[in-house]
Chain A
């Protein structure tokens, strides 16, 4: 049987695999990208496309901010259908205690070189008149943006191809072992390095990974241009994203370039079917009405679900895997993989060529979970 030989094989053509393939091919590696489905057809097609700086932890802040800057650098090259719009994020405080959080956040971002502004109740009402007028205020993060992820993935794959990468779609990887990649159809690849960027399916190929699917729901509306102008997120969102066990919902609405709106978001563990769960859906929507009552009367075109690849410490796995010296991981991006794809790829490429990365790589090294695993 013939073997295809590459410097690097990237498994998964989601936004993360696409970005890794692009980076590696621009380091003059001969790259193959393999996906069982479409380019950008997995979680990448299901997500929201909010390019957001988050401060859940120092490491998360560093990676999201770094990644956001890479998106800003890439922006001039992005084709129109990626729909990059720097609409900014509004973190809405419903009450005074949440307003304290706005102030803390403002300081935190400021100390790390990200300018934000605090909006009073009046200023917020003026910026977003559809919000309930009795909100306490908000934090505006102006550099946050939204994109349309499937087209972004396609664009990044095309860029990799311009640098010589080859894409193989429709082939399922069955096994990765010491530089050898075996597909269920019998095709075999051999590579100096293999990148497991298979998203929630990564543990099927690297069995000791601790990644759990975390289900999310989204609803898209018909076109209502200017109904909301920013990605608007409740501050309580953090509580929702933090909780590691219970099902949770949080208000999160995104204006699309088309004038449509995406309404989110929900988080559920242990739900393995992709069907819409009406109970969660209605909790999520009712949460949204608490912030923007007028959403109730808009017209919904579709509801769907997607799965986030969640790690126990809520940070992605980026870098070498101790059990296989030719294997690199790029997965576990939970609800931030669209944003952090570019930073992930930069960290990975820096590791491969032995360059000093622009942010600390240690918090993301897969060895951290591996050690826990061995000691546990």
Chain B
């Protein structure tokens, strides 16, 4: 059986994206012994994925900061299980099980893309927008390829800019939101100079790429892989030949770990108080899981959580002021990119909704709830644990997501078998409690 490694921290941070990095450095700066765990090979989260090796990048700057503050960074480790009553999380690496003890915990687990099913979306080369970006970052040649970027949210622009910079021919960006809602969002940027600057830079990078509002993919076509897509734009359909469709409908917060630990959710996000503390004492949450708010809010929330988790209060007043402002932006974001109901009618009866278990829309439509559908069709019970089809069916059928069961991610059976073998003393105490 693989070995078990042990760690112990004052403050443990899960997630090394902007929120987690800010949290870890803030907590370490005020004297806490801090550890950061992330399932990626290096720090940076979604936005700075793969950038740590560059000499000057945000990710490498943060990595240097962590290093100088003595923060232990554990990458390539995924939190899969917990014993929250004993203040322990279990992480799995390729070779070992890690038992990580902590006094305070900060969840900075970020967000993922929302994928919505439409006919043909399972064809090869129809990809999640950020997913395609990540593949290009890890070496997929994109130069000269024709790409349509479609769906919803600011991520589409970032991905389009990135792909273009790497030689892709971006044929169009299709945003489902209406021009009106985007226009009021854009005018709101005037009160967020930082965002405005970013937007202007992006605009320059995207110069010449058609940006269509009121537009979304209705069908992807091709024999073995994607060849063409049909886009609905202002109510009329047009066909476009392309090599890739990069597609995502804004983001969904990763709340599964919080939920497994018993943290209360509200409107699909982790509920936190003024100090970013969740309903579970000693467990904090920062960044996208508390609501999709972008980089700036993630950084501020991370700092607040880090300072509060370390038991300090310096700078909290100032940070709270900045957080209020960034939250306004988050609310605008949510309003501007609200999904239109027409998207619910995209799948036809044969469209696969759950890719892990090959469950079609027609089979799901017969059921009354997520639980009923899971039971009868095993939708959401494959290796992705419903991370893709869960948010999709929530949108399509208004189903409430169910409870989260361990393990959080597919886990080697031997790791599950090792979990309780780690601290016999603690555990006998625990069973005493439970019986």
Contacts and interface: CB of A to CB of B under 8 A. Distances in A.
B434 A277 contact: yes
Contact of B410 (A150, A222, A263, A279): A222
Interface residues of A, number: 38
Given A301-B382, A303-B407, A282 B412 contact: no
B416 A281 contact: yes
A69 B145 CA distance: 61
B376 A281 contact: no
Q: Chain B, interface size: which category? A: 20 to 34
A296 interface: yes
B418 A295 contact: no
Contacts of B413: 219, 221, 263, 285, 288, 295-300
B414 A278 contact: no
A203 to B, nearest CB: 21
Contacts of B83: 278
Contacts of A168: none
B417 interface: yes
Contact of A286 (B378, B383, B410, B417): B417
Nearest to A263: B413
A299 B420 contact: no
Contacts of B385: 301-302
A323 to B, nearest CB: 33
B427 A279 contact: yes
A295 to B, nearest CB: 6
A296 B375 contact: no
Nearest to B80: A300
A327 B420 CA distance: 45
A367 interface: no
Contacts of A288: 413
A41 B375 contact: yes
Interface centre among A38, A154, A300 (most CB of B within 10 A): A300
A302 B434 contact: no
Contacts of A270: 435
Contacts of A273: 434
Contacts of A299: 383, 410-413
Interface of B: 1, 81, 83, 357, 368-369, 371-372, 375-378, 381-383, 385, 405-407, 410-414, 416-421, 427, 431, 434-435
6 contacts: A220-B381, A278-B83, A282-B419, A296-B414, A300-B412, A300-B416
Given A41-B372, A301-B383, A302-B405, 4 more contacts: A38-B375, A271-B434, A271-B435, A298-B412
Rank and list the top 6 A-B pairs by shortest CB-CB distance, nearest first: A285-B417, A296-B414, A278-B420, A279-B420, A150-B375, A299-B410
